[in-house]
Amino acid sequence: MALLKFKKTENQTVSIKDFNDLMHGFSMEIMPRTAEKIDNFADILPKNTLIYIAHIDGTSIEDMVKTAVRLGNEGFKVMPHFPARIIDDKSTLKEWIDRYSSEAGVKQALLLAGGVYTPKGKFESSMQLLETGLFDKFGFTDLNVAGHPEGNKDIDIDNTTKNVDMALEWKQKFSERTDANMGVTTQFTFDSRPIFAWANRIHASGITLPINVGVAGPAKLQTLIKFAIACGVGPSLKVLQKRALDLSKLLLPYEPTEILNELTSGKAKNPNANISSIHFFPLGGIKTNAEWISNNLTKNIKFA
């Protein structure tokens, strides 16, 4: 079994225990079309792993619910996306929530604006979805929202973080005045420094929601650069660009070893960052990502 090789410096010691603590409760993001390539998720991931189902524009609610039902039957916790800008109206939102709840037993969701610039209906932000009260009405107990450590140019076109900061402050207050168990899930990144700078900054402003850090799973370097540009990854893209200039690494698949090493050591030095766990984006394939996790976790994870 290939285990993570932790770097040790004079002022930094990264232990396997600290790594396992960070990885405890990890989650993974899939899509209905990528899920179809997996015969049985219980063969590759520990039971009860939290799996997010990304709702890409053009994917039908039927395919989303079908995937949620399947994952639940295979023994997994499910968190579907609710992208505000592709939801037509409140009745559509109610239908989606009702179907996830009644057909798949889902009680948690990731609320986000979505990757569509122009809203298709009446919603344009996750705050508007929360304000409907429908998630509470249908007994959704865990609600995650998106975090943007490197900013979001679709929301702050002036390259500041003013709007995303205000939105996160609103969501913090929403969690305080309701019974919702809320957390923040970030876009994937390749450098821990923007993560900790952002996490410490928002904590100083009163935001204490637990943070699930988005990390890209193993993949070809060219694949990651393509996704990073498409998803608006900011300064940390330079990590990949630097790697691309190193001929000794150019043809080797990227693995998240280095950033997880940084997050493990940085968590101890930045307790106010409120880093909770890791959320994997399997950009190089679900099986590839799952195998990497099982090879690098030293805990006894049980499969079916």
Backbone CA torsion sign across 78, 165, 126, 176? positive
- For residue 8, the model assigns a pLDDT of 40
User: Count of domains in the chain?
Assistant: 1
For residue 2, is it within any domain?
Answer: no
What is the pairing mode between strands 108-112 and 77-83? parallel
**Residue in the block written with tokens 């679709």:** 154
The CA angle 132-108-91, to the nearest 5 degrees, is 35
Report pTM: 0.87
The CA–CA distances, whole Å, from 38 to 63, 67, 72, 235, 288 equal 15, 11, 14, 34, 11
Kindly give the confidence (pLDDT) of every residue in the chain, 304 residues in length, as a single tens digit, with 9 standing for 90 and above: 333 444 443 344 567 788 888 888 899 999 999 999 999 999 999 999 999 999 999 999 999 999 999 999 999 999 999 999 999 999 999 999 999 999 999 999 999 998 788 899 999 999 999 999 999 999 999 999 999 887 666 665 666 677 888 999 999 999 999 989 999 999 888 889 989 999 999 999 999 999 999 999 998 877 777 766 666 666 655 666 666 555 455 556 789 988 999 999 999 888 889 999 999 999 999 999 999 999 887 544 444 4
Q: What is the pLDDT of residue 247?
A: 47
In a domain, 243, yes or no: yes
Report pLDDT for 302.
Answer: 45
Taking the C-alpha atoms of residue 163 and residue 157, their distance in angstroms, rounded to an integer, is 10
Does any domain span residue 262?
Answer: yes
1 located within any domain: no
The CATH number linked to 44 is 3.20.20.220
Cα–Cα distance between 266 and 195 in angstroms, integer? 10
pLDDT at 27: 97
- Is residue 51 a contact partner of residue 79, using CB atoms and an 8 Å limit? yes
Confirm whether 128 is domain-assigned: yes
Cβ atoms 56, 32 nearer than 8 A: no
| pLDDT score recorded for residue 154 | 64
Establish if 158 belongs to a structural domain: yes
HSE-CB of 18 using CA atoms within 13 angstroms: 17
Q: Which domain holds residue 100?
A: 8-296
pLDDT of residue 11: 40
* Residue 44 covered by a domain: yes
Residue 301 lies in a domain: no
